[in-house]
Every structure is written in C-alpha cells, then in structure tokens.
Amino acid sequence: MLAVLSNRTYRHLFSAQVIALVGTGLLTVALGLLAFDLAGENAGAVLGTALAIKMIAYVGVAPVASAFTERVPRRAMLVVLDLVRAAVAVFLPFVTEVWQVYVLIFLLQSASAAFTPTFQATIPDILPDEKEYTRALSLSRLAYDLESVVSPMLAAALLTVISFHSLFAGTVIGFLASAALVLTVALPSPKPTKPRGVYDRTTRGIRIYLATPRLRGLLAINLAVASAGALVIVNTVVYVQAAFGLDQQAMAVALGAFGGGSMLAALTLPRLLEAFPDRVAMLGGAGLLAVGTFAAATLQSYEWLLPLWFMLGLGYSMAQTPSGRLLRRSAHAEDRPAVFAAQFALSHACWLLTYPLAGWAGATLGLPATAMLLALLAAAAIGIALVVWPAADPEELEHSHHDLPADHPHLSEAGGPHRHVHAFVIDDLHVAWPGRS
C-alpha cells in the first residue's frame, strides 16, 4: 500500500492531508473546552449547534464553491483555502461570546467545504492507475482513523504544559504546513470544454451525480453509513457511561474498537477490490452496518459492545472507502471537482439527518428503539441501493446519438455513425443514462 507514496506529488499531498487532519483534531478538542469555558453546563448545546453549522456549511457551500474551481488553478485555490482556515483559527482563542464561535466555525467549515472536494478530485488526476488510486483511498481512510486516535492523545499531552487556548496554535500550524506542502508540487487543473453559466456550474455536479445509477446507489449507501455511524458517534457515550456505568476511558476504548475495525478494512480493501466489484464490497459493508445496528438494540454489556463496534468499523470503511473509485469512473476530469463536491454535500446531508435523529431518539425513546430505528433506515437505504444500482455496471455502454449529425466529431471519435460503444459518463453529449429517459 505504501508504494503509492513513491509518487512525489501524491506524497506531498498526503502529508498535507495528515498534518491538516492533526490540526483539525486539536481544534475539535480545543473547541469543546472553549465551549465549556464560555457556556459552562450549556457547552453541549453550543457544540451541537456548532456541529449543525458545520454540516449546513458542508451541504450548502460545497456545490457553490465547485462552480468556481474551474476558473482558478487548483494549487492556488487549495493554498488560499488553507490560509483562510489558518486565519480563522487564529481568531478562535480570542472569542468572548458564543455567537462569535458560530460565525468563525461557519467561515472555517465553509473553507473546508471548498477545500476537501477539490483536494479529493485532484488525486485521481495524479494517480490515473486504478490500483494506485485504490491504495491512495485506503491510505486516506487510515489517515482519518488514525487522526481520531492520535489527536486526542496529543491534545491530552499538550494540555499538561499549555492552556487549551494554545491548542488552536496547533491548528494554525497544521493548515500553514498543509499550504506549504501543496505549494511544493504542480497540480493539474483540467478546464471545461466550453464556458458555462453560474447556475450550470453550481448544479452540474449534482445533476451528473443524480443521473448516474451507480452514484444514486452510492447516495443510498451514504445514508446507511450515516445511520450506523450516527449511532456510534452520538450514542457511544450514552451506552458506556449511562447504560453500563463505566468511565471515559472505557468510552475511548469503545471508539478505539470502532476505529480499529475501520483501519483493518482499509488495509485489506486494495486486495478485496481486486477480487470483488465495488458494488459487492460496498453493499457488503453496508450490510454489516445494518446487521450491527440491529444487534445494538439488544446490547446488554460492554463486553459485547466492543466486538460489535469493531464490526461496525469494518462495515463503515468497506462501505465508504471505495466511493472515490465510483466518482472517478463517473465523470470527465474537468467535471470531477463538481462531482466530488456533490458527494461531499449529499453525504453530509445524510449525516445532517441522522445526527439529530440519533440524539433525539436516544434521549426520548431509549437506546434499543434508537438502534432499531437507525437499523431500519440503513436497511431501507440498502434496499434502495440494490434497486437503483444495477448489478451489471460496465464502464463501456452501447448507446445512440440520433440527435447528432452524421459528421459530428464525437461520432467519428467513438468509431460509429450513430450507435456506438465507449466509456459512458454524463456530460453535454450524454445527458441521460442509456435506457433511461
């Protein structure tokens, strides 16, 4: 898997991702402490609102930001967005009112909503080989999982010698280091074949996404992932400390079991995807999530929670890590930022639904009913994925162009007069999937 790091451009981008993730992890810890400092016993409400603002920024800003990526070189855009995130983090230690936290979090997460899809869409351009790209996706998943473990440990160590306000300095350093690493490499910036209006650029990614059967299936799988993931992220503390009467250390171990399962899946996915299609692997992972979430409704002890959370971690990584391969297959290079932005926005819209559902249901209906409700949602999502994502999903499709003149350049390039076969994606010449209106 590490062989992909021999590519200098990817190595620098991956290093930038890891450093920025550590900085973001420190921000998460510091933000929790800042909320308590400002709001005391109402800190939970402050953090909940901040998370909601984060999701709203992700859902609303990503498609709009993608409309402007084609007009700016990608490297310049990524560097500027890192600098914006660093500048916002500089101000966080000096806030004195809760509303100031909300404003700064919206600005920071809006920059992240523009940065992340653009960054993700650049990787397939610098790693055109599918095996290398699959390894890169697994490394990225590992980075996210390790960050969730390393950043809290690093924050705990730093808090023994500095105040929590100083943790924000680590966030600033992380974003500045990320910008510096991006500056050291040249990045491709594919341009559209023709100029487009603002509305076309803003909605293009979502239109391509929703017109592509495998991506509609991915959206359903996103909902299954968010259903099970919300149970773990929102209610682990309730299971461990309220239901089983254990301490914070036990909660950390439980989350570690979930992360361990996710990392194991990420390590094995490159080989798994050589033997099985993406659809089989992703639906298998989603199935693990649905079964595990159903099982959580019957949890009676902490000893059973640990292997169950490990299983959920396996399914979590299996279901979502290959998504980049689907996005890469489903768009031309110039449309990838828009399609990755659509995935970013739509997947976070699923979390925007399941996060409050997990929290509200857990508080009012109890944990067993909450787990059952989320499991049913995950199972329904899998059923939708099975229907909208055909088992036969070839890259090349036979289709017709009766609307094009016989001498159109596309017909001669594709090797046929009107009906021909080539790698099919939604674009200006292919506005609907073959066999669909």
64 in the same domain as 178: yes
Query: Is residue 395 in some structural domain?
Result: no
Half-sphere exposure of 120 (CA within 13 A, CB side): 32
Identify any residues that bridge with 397 across adjacent strands, giving them in sequence order: 422
Which residues constitute the domain of residue 359? 205-389+408-437
241 in the same domain as 109: no
> Cα separation of 123 and 324, whole Å?
9
Query: Is residue 20 in some structural domain?
Result: yes
Q: What is the pLDDT of residue 176?
A: 95
Residue where the block lists tokens 């341009």: 191
Query: Is residue 199 in some structural domain?
Result: no
Among 271, 320, 11, CA closest to 141: 320
Kindly indicate the confidence band of residue 372, based on its pLDDT and cuts at 50, 70 and 90.
Answer: very high
**CA-CA-CA-CA dihedral for 141, 293, 385, 122, to nearest 10:** -10
Taking residues 7-16, report their average pLDDT: 92
Query: Is residue 420 in some structural domain?
Result: yes
Q: Among 54-63, 85-94, 314-323, whose mean pLDDT is lowest?
A: 54-63
Most confident among 91-105, 121-135, 210-224 (mean pLDDT): 210-224
Q: Check: pTM over 0.75? Answer yes or no.
A: yes
Of the three residues 132, 163, 188, the one that is the final residue of a domain is 188
Percent of the chain with pLDDT over 90: 40
Give the chain's end-to-end CA distance (angstroms, integer): 42
Kindly indicate the confidence band of residue 235, based on its pLDDT and cuts at 50, 70 and 90.
Answer: confident
Which amino acid is present at 227? S
378 in the same domain as 344: yes
Query: Is residue 193 in some structural domain?
Result: no
209 in the same domain as 183: no
> Cα separation of 191 and 393, whole Å?
28
Among 97, 92, 122, 124, CA closest to 109: 92
108 in the same domain as 162: yes
Q: What is the pLDDT of residue 310?
A: 96
Q: What tokens were used for 14? A: 């991956």
Taking residues 71-85, report their average pLDDT: 90
144 in the same domain as 218: no
Taking residues 244-250, report their average pLDDT: 83
146 in the same domain as 251: no
Of the three residues 154, 188, 222, the one that is the final residue of a domain is 188
Domain count, the chain: 2
Kindly indicate the confidence band of residue 437, based on its pLDDT and cuts at 50, 70 and 90.
Answer: very low
Among 56, 17, 60, 245, CA closest to 147: 17
Among 7, 17, 4, CA closest to 133: 4
222 in the same domain as 108: no
In tens, the pLDDT along 326-369 reads 999 999 888 888 899 999 999 999 998 998 888 888 888 999 99
374 vs 145: which has the higher pLDDT:
374
Query: Is residue 64 a contact partner of residue 202, using CB atoms and an 8 Å limit?
Result: yes
Taking residues 243-264, report their average pLDDT: 85
Query: Is residue 162 in some structural domain?
Result: yes
Phi-psi label, residue 40: left if phi above 0, alpha if psi -120 to 50, beta otherwise: left
Of the three residues 142, 159, 188, the one that is the final residue of a domain is 188
Q: What is the pLDDT of residue 319?
A: 96
In tens, the pLDDT along 136-191 reads 988 888 888 777 667 766 776 777 777 878 888 888 999 999 999 999 999 887 76
135 in the same domain as 73: yes
Most confident among 15-29, 113-127, 298-312, 326-340 (mean pLDDT): 298-312
Taking residues 114-132, report their average pLDDT: 88
102 in the same domain as 224: no
Query: Is residue 60 in some structural domain?
Result: yes
- Which CA distances in Å does 411 have to 330, 398, 400? 20, 13, 10
> Cα separation of 55 and 290, whole Å?
23
Most confident among 249-258, 278-287, 401-410 (mean pLDDT): 278-287
351 in the same domain as 430: yes
CATH number at residue 364: 1.20.1250.20
Q: What is the pLDDT of residue 107?
A: 92
Kindly indicate the confidence band of residue 193, based on its pLDDT and cuts at 50, 70 and 90.
Answer: low
Average pLDDT, the chain: 86
91 in the same domain as 57: yes
Q: What is the pLDDT of residue 423?
A: 79
Query: Is residue 92 in some structural domain?
Result: yes
